[in-house]
Amino acid sequence: MAVDSNTQIIVARQAVGPDRPMPVSTEGSRSAYGYAAVAITPAATPTDIVTLYGSATKTVRVKKVTVSGVATTAGSMDVSLVKRTAANTAGTTTNPTPGKLDSTSDAATATLSQYSANPSAVGTGIAIRNKKLNFGLAGAAGVVEFDFSRNNDKPLILRGATQGMAINLNGQAVPAGGALSYDIEFEESDT
């Protein structure tokens, strides 16, 4: 049967066609997690400010990363999303616990680290995304977003505990009075 480009088909009581794609849900197959921090003070010339390392038992899919900043003096910095294949060494970190997007999910197996002092050496890696963050004055935060969840995009995949993702500020000086906020959303599955 030939169908022209203006034809719509009814699927599950919804019209689908060239201008209305069929809705697809992958919910339920993966546990999802998120973490957000507000107004952190990084090192004066920060490299990695946050890392998320994978798991020995699960495959981790990073779906979205957002970074914002305010300062008492406007300025800008490069923000890179770096995929690491080796761990950082030293530095002063905290290890916050990601929140579950579904309370019935198991605890996350990926490891999150937030740096208040730079690592002495960052692990081997390559920048896969880069944007300029404009620090606005209080009340006018600049925002950069790395979104791997639109249009069936492939997420940033971390396989094994030695693969990680870092939010890196390229060792540039933070504008005077600068404070950063970020959020990370990721999923874990057996495959």
Give the model confidence (pLDDT) of 71-112 as tens digits. 998 889 999 999 999 888 998 899 999 999 999 999 999 999
Average pLDDT, the chain: 86
CA atoms within 13 A on the CB side of 36: 9
Integer Cα distance of 147 and 130 in angstroms: 12
Given a cut of 70, is residue 115 above it in pLDDT?
Answer: yes
97 burial type by CB count under 10 A (0-12 exposed, 13-18 middle, 19+ buried) = exposed
Which sign does the torsion angle of CA 113, 47, 180, 183 carry? negative
Q: Which residue did the predictor score with more confidence, 186 or 148?
A: 186
The residues near 21 (Cβ < 8 Å, ≥ 6 apart) are none
Given a cut of 90, is residue 166 above it in pLDDT?
Answer: yes
pLDDT at 101: 92
The residues near 128 (Cβ < 8 Å, ≥ 6 apart) are 81, 82, 83, 156
Question: Is-contact 37 66, C-beta < 8 A?
Answer: no
Q: Which residue has the tokens 């957000």?
A: 36
The residues near 164 (Cβ < 8 Å, ≥ 6 apart) are 51, 52, 53, 54, 83, 84, 85, 87, 123, 125, 158
In which region does residue 91 sit, left (phi positive, over 0), alpha (psi from -120 to 50) or beta (all else)? left
Given a cut of 90, is residue 5 above it in pLDDT?
Answer: no
Whole-prediction pTM: 0.80
Give the model confidence (pLDDT) of 167-188 as tens digits. 999 999 999 989 999 999 999 9
Confidence of residue 57 (pLDDT cuts 50, 70, 90): very high
Confidence of residue 13 (pLDDT cuts 50, 70, 90): low
In which region does residue 160 sit, left (phi positive, over 0), alpha (psi from -120 to 50) or beta (all else)? left
Given a cut of 60, is residue 64 above it in pLDDT?
Answer: yes
